[in-house]
Amino acid sequence: MSEATHADVALNGGAALTAEQRAVVGHVSGHARVAAVAGAGKTTTLVQRVLHLLASGESPRRLLVLMFNRAARDDFRDKLARQAPAGVALPEVRTFHSIGHRLTQSLTRWGFLPPRQLLQADWQHERLLRQAVAQSLAQADAETQEGALEAERVEAFAQFCDLVKAEMADPAALFERLDYTPGERHFIEAFAIAESLLEAAGSITYADLLYRPLRCLEAEPEARRRVQGYLNHVIVDEYQDINESQLRLLKLLAGEQAQVMAVGDANQCIYEWRGARADAMLVRFDGLFGAASDYPLSYTFRHGHALALAANHAIRGNAQGSDQLCLAAPGNPQTRLGSGVGAAALLDELGRWQAAGRRHDEACVLVRSWSLSVSVQLQLLRAGIPFRLAQESRFVFRLPLVQALAGYLQLAREPHRLQDPGHLGLLFSQPTTFVAQERVRRLCEALAATQQWPRREDPLLAGLKPGQRRHLKRRWQLLCELPRLGNWPPAKLLAHVIEAIDAEKVLRRSASRREKADDDVRLLDVLIEQAGELANDPDAFIELLRNPVENRPDGVLISTVHGAKGLEWPLVMLWGLNEEDFPHFSRDNPLSPQRLEEERRLYYVAMTRARERLLLLHDGGEHRPSRFLAESAVAECERVGQALASQSEASVSVSEPALVARYLERVGCQLTLTPVPEMATVAPAAGWQVGERLHHANFGAGEVVVVEGDPADPVIEVRFEGAGRRRLIASRAPLARIA
């Protein structure tokens, strides 16, 4: 295809490929790396690349396109089929797992692998894992065994096994590298046992679809010989997030002959915890495949200048990553940026959205982790706004811990529940008492019938460790106390329950990963906060927690940032921008420089999901606003965006003039920029004077008009140039003094 023909390729809406896109399509020979910002029209470009190769005489059988997941694969297949001339044979578009599946079949047919069946049902897989855990702890005491067989910990073991396979790692080395607690040491041996059990049963897991053929191919030169040499071109999407086993499979399939085109964005690598490597695009590619031609796709077709600029500000704090600028293409919507505090700001935004004639299902609330969504869910429920969850099991009332906490409150209001064995069973199982379920069930039946704690020698308690007995008895004492506390406000009651059962300690002990423990503990905080907002009405709170709502297809979507990969919405509200929540860290789980960079990439992915409106929200609670808010200079970028849209001649003050100037030059626009006046890097909380000038990360420049309250921790009122008057707790706000 000639240059002129590429330029003429009509896209949806009659647009033509950009020069950068055309360069990718027409890449001549050798390996290629395509660095594509979010929303750069990768699919459009790669479809044209495939058509170009076919038109140049390449056989479709010698071409393979590898996509990250099934949804992306289906989208690519559809677009390719629609754009291809009628009757043209098309190449295969596959996911890594489907390639693995087919290789498994071939290797089995050729006799390199013994035949095995994929475990179809989850329960079969779970049963096998439980067996492996039990065998690995055969010598341990009953308490340890029972704790290790709790559903969550078996699930964590399942993830460990998958990760060993995804990373082609030695289980012991992986265990050391990742943040597992000493109570999980049995994972290493249990992995080996699970492998033997799978072999004996003639079964494989989903992860084996890649792991088994890959191990076979790496060990058997003859098997390798039979699968290599067929391909001339392999195109791989989302290259930044592929893991070690996928990478090795790619290397094997490509062999010495195929040209690899890796497409991705180093700044969007968000699956390090699943085996992806942040340096895959930039450093490791050369090591694996040799020299490559580099192509940028710098223009996004998703959002406007303000958001592109804010995203560029946000990601520049990362040392590891690409310094590619994300540029807004000329016809994009003029995305408006805003920031706010608390659920009221979120509800107001949705109200305005609806009043402007827009639909709820055009909006998405993104959270760093599911526990943060709980307050949003409860607020939307109270406000009667329909919503849906990307994972239905995350509905607040379906979380076992939430059901149990509602159950404790309910017992306080309805004492007869002390005679209900089912209700007692719920309260004895969440949070865990580290005792086997069957035994808890028998104990609850006896307690419901007798209302008495069994005597020391009672068979119901036989064989229990002193620690287990203590846990159980303390729980029963709390349950007997609750009916007397029925008039307490729900927040106080919840706090009392949580303290009496030592919930934080129990949750930390029972979770396999520190991050999971943080999430559970955060859930407790969020629930107490929410209970506090409902003041003195325990019944209303119980009812809210037990609300049988279902996903509403016409509702606002709530998703984690990971779940939003590759997606976009007209309105995106990013909730939970608080230090410790996003970036996520805690005392037990501190933020290493590497983890901070991964959190920042996750934030970058989150903000670049919006098309027309992005609202960044911190919850106004005890955690300070996230550093990412300040880093993305939202107010400044919004002002630059507005100045560009109105072609204003006035100067705009920005704190990173070099970055903004570089951006403007790249998009061919002009503005007069003035640097924000000299600022102290960090403003101390105290010592504010009326009349002082300051800079707020979100609201921009302003002047202090009132100082009141505790002089060591004052509340100040500020008149902002662009954001009106605001009252702020000085110690919690992202402020800098203007010298």
Ligand X SMILES: Nc1ncnc2c1ncn2[C@@H]1O[C@H](COP(=O)(O)OP(=O)(O)OP(=O)(O)O)[C@@H](O)[C@H]1O
Residue 641 assigned as binding residue: no
Structure tokens that stand for 524 in this block: 């407790």
| String marking each residue 144-173 x if it binds ligand X according to CB under 6 A | ------------------------------
Any binding-site annotation on 43?
yes
Q: Does 605 bind ligand X (CB under 6 A)?
A: no
By DSSP bridging, strand 724-729 and strand 715-720 are: antiparallel
Q: Does 12 bind ligand X (CB under 6 A)?
A: yes
Count of residues that interact with ligand X, criterion CB under 6 A = 16
Taking residues 267 to 306 in sequence order and writing x for each that binds ligand X by CB under 6 A, - otherwise, the string is: ----------------------------------x-----
Pick from 6, 17, 147, 249 the residue near ligand X by CB under 6 A. Answer: 17
- Of 153 and 303, nearer to ligand X (C-beta) is 303
Q: Does 26 bind ligand X (CB under 6 A)?
A: no
Residues 6+ apart with CB under 8 A from 617: 339, 340, 341, 342, 345, 346, 573, 574, 575, 576, 577
> Nearest distance from residue 601's CB to ligand X, in Å?
15
- Closest residue to ligand X, judged by C-beta, is 41
Chosen residue from 1, 11, 169, 292 binding ligand X by CB under 6 A? 11
Q: Which one of 32, 38, 311, 464 is in contact with ligand X (CB under 6 A)? A: 38
Determine, following the binding rule CB under 6 A, whether residue 44 of this chain makes contact with ligand X: yes
Q: Interface with ligand X includes 39 (CB under 6 A)?
A: yes
**Which one, 48 or 136, has the nearer CB to ligand X?**
48
Contact 145, 137 (CB under 8 A): yes
**CA-closest candidate to residue 230, choices 120, 377, 114, 99:** 99
Ligand-binding site membership of 463 (annotated): no
> Least distance from C-beta 12 to ligand X, angstroms?
4
Q: Are strands 327-328 and 569-575 parallel, antiparallel or unpaired?
A: unpaired
Least distance from ligand X to the Cβ atom of residue 21, Å? 6
Which range of residues in 42-50, 82-90, 374-382, 644-652 is near ligand X by CB under 6 A? 42-50
CA distance linking residue 451 with residue 444, whole number of Å: 10
283 DSSP 8-state letter: I
Q: Cβ neighbours of residue 40 under 8 Å, at least 6 residues apart? A: 297, 298, 299, 300, 301
HSE-CB of 529 using CA atoms within 13 angstroms: 20
**Could you say whether residue 701 binds ligand X (CB under 6 A)?**
no
Q: How far is the CB of 583 from ligand X (least distance, A)?
A: 24
Looking at the Cβ atoms of 11 and 149, the one nearer to ligand X is: 11
Binding-site string for ligand X from residue 202 to residue 241, where x marks contact by CB under 6 A and - marks none: ----------------------------------------
Please tell me the distance from the alpha carbon of residue 417 to that of residue 473, in angstroms, as a whole number. Answer: 18
Selected from 23, 32, 35, 40, the binder of ligand X by CB under 6 A is 40
Q: Is 454 helix (H, G, I), strand (E, B) or coil?
A: coil
Which part of the chain contacts ligand X (CB under 6 A), choosing from 35-43, 463-471, 482-490, 676-684? 35-43
Shortest Cβ 693–ligand X spacing (Å): 41
Among 33, 43, 49, 643, binds ligand X (CB under 6 A): 43
Cβ-contact 498, 430 below 8 angstroms: no
Backbone angles phi and psi of 657, in degrees to 5 = -60, -35
CA 17, 22, 24, 28 torsion-angle sign: positive
> Binding residue per annotation — 39?
yes
Q: Quick one: which H or E segment has residue 292?
A: strand 292-297
| Contact between 294 and 263 (Cβ < 8 Å) | no
Of 371 and 608, which CB lies nearer to ligand X in the complex structure?
A: 608
567 contributes a contact to ligand X by CB under 6 A: no
Q: Which stretch binds ligand X (CB under 6 A): 16-24, 56-64, 595-603, 634-642?
A: 16-24
Which residue, 329 or 643, has its beta carbon nearer to ligand X? 329
- Between residues 41 and 340, which has the closer beta carbon with respect to ligand X? 41
Q: Please, are residues 616 and 607 in contact by the beta-carbon 8 Å criterion?
A: yes
3-class DSSP state of 553: coil
Q: What gap in Å lies between CA 435 and CA 74, rounded to an integer?
A: 47
CA–CA dist 682, 431 (Å, integer): 41
Which residues touch 699 (CB under 8 Å, ≥6 apart)? 339, 635, 718, 720, 722, 723, 726
Considering only 37-45, 154-162, 288-296, 725-733, which stretch makes contact with ligand X by CB under 6 A? 37-45
395, 377 contact by CB (below 8 A): yes
**CA-CA distance, 18 to 268, in Å (whole number)?**
22
38 is in an annotated binding site: yes
Interface with ligand X (CB under 6 A): 11-12, 15, 17-18, 21, 36, 38-44, 301, 566
Give the residue ranges of the annotated binding site for ATP. Answer: 36-43
